[in-house]
Chain A
C-alpha cells in the first residue's frame, strides 16, 4: 500500500522535503513508516525519542497500523515552554 508522510518545521528543513510517499506492506505501523522515512533521510534518526505522530487531526501511537492512502505527520516537539523537552512516554503526546 501507499501512504503519504508529511514533515514539519525542523524535520522539513533537515530533509529538504515536505512530503514523501512510501510503499509499505498492508497493516504497516507508524513505527515502520518512521523507519522507512529514516532510511530515506538518515538526518532524522536522532529525533525518534522526541517525535510525535499524527494522522488526520489526532495524535497516534507508534504501534498504530496505517491504512492505504493515509497521511502520517511527523512532528517535532511543539513550541511549548522551555523545560518541556522530555520525550513522551509511549510515543503519545503530552496530554494529561
Chain B
C-alpha cells in the first residue's frame, strides 16, 4: 500500500482523509488537522497564505512517511496532505491520518509526523491582519506593516 502524500490548493476534508487510511487490519485511526486560528498574540487574523517549495515539500513529506513506517512497522496506512494558497479562518492547512492495529501507535505516529513536518518541510505561512501582514518565522525585524 502506497502512502498518500500531497500538496494541494483545494480544501481538505476530515471525512475524505480518514477514508484514505481505511484498512481491514486497522483497529485505530488517528487524524490530526491543523486549523487556521482567528488571532495571533491578540492580533486579529483575516486570512493566511501558505507558500511551498512544492517538489521539496513533497519529498520531505515522503521522508516523514518513511520514518513513520520505520519507527512503527505495524502502521497500516499513512496520509499526509498540506494545503497551499489562501486559507480562511477555520480551514485546515494540514492533515495527517494514520491507521494501525492499536491506538497507541496511531497517536504516536500522528504526533511525530506533525512535529517533524513543522521543522523540515519547506512551507511558509503569512498571516494577514487588519493592520498589516507578517511571514511567520522571524518576528519584529521583518514585520511588513502598511
Measured CB to CB, the residues of A under 8 A from B are 8-10, 13-14, 46-47, 50, 52, 54, 56-58, 73, 75-81, 84-85, 93-95
Size of interface on B: residues with Cβ below 8 Å to A: 24
Neighbour of A8 across the interface among B51, B55, B118, CB < 8 A: B51
Query: CA–CA, A79 to B49, complex, Å?
Result: 11
Measured CB to CB, the residues of B under 8 A from A are 50-51, 53, 55-56, 59-60, 118-126, 135-139, 141-142, 144
Centre residue among B60, B135, B139 by max chain A CB count within 10 A: B135
On whether A78 and B120 interact (CB within 8 A), knowing A9-B126, A73-B53, the answer reads: yes
> Across the interface, do A81 and B138 meet the contact criterion of CB distance under 8 Å?
no
B131 to A: closest C-beta gap in Å: 17
B10 to A: closest C-beta gap in Å: 20
4 more contacts with CB within 8 A, not counting A57-B55, A76-B137, are: A8-B122, A56-B56, A76-B124, A93-B119
> Across the interface, do A54 and B122 meet the contact criterion of CB distance under 8 Å?
yes
Which residues from chain A contact B60 at a C-beta distance below 8 Å? Answer: 57
A-B CB contact pairs (8 Å), 19 listed: A9-B51, A10-B135, A10-B142, A14-B142, A46-B141, A57-B55, A58-B56, A73-B56, A73-B122, A78-B118, A78-B120, A78-B121, A78-B123, A78-B124, A79-B136, A81-B118, A84-B119, A85-B137, A94-B120
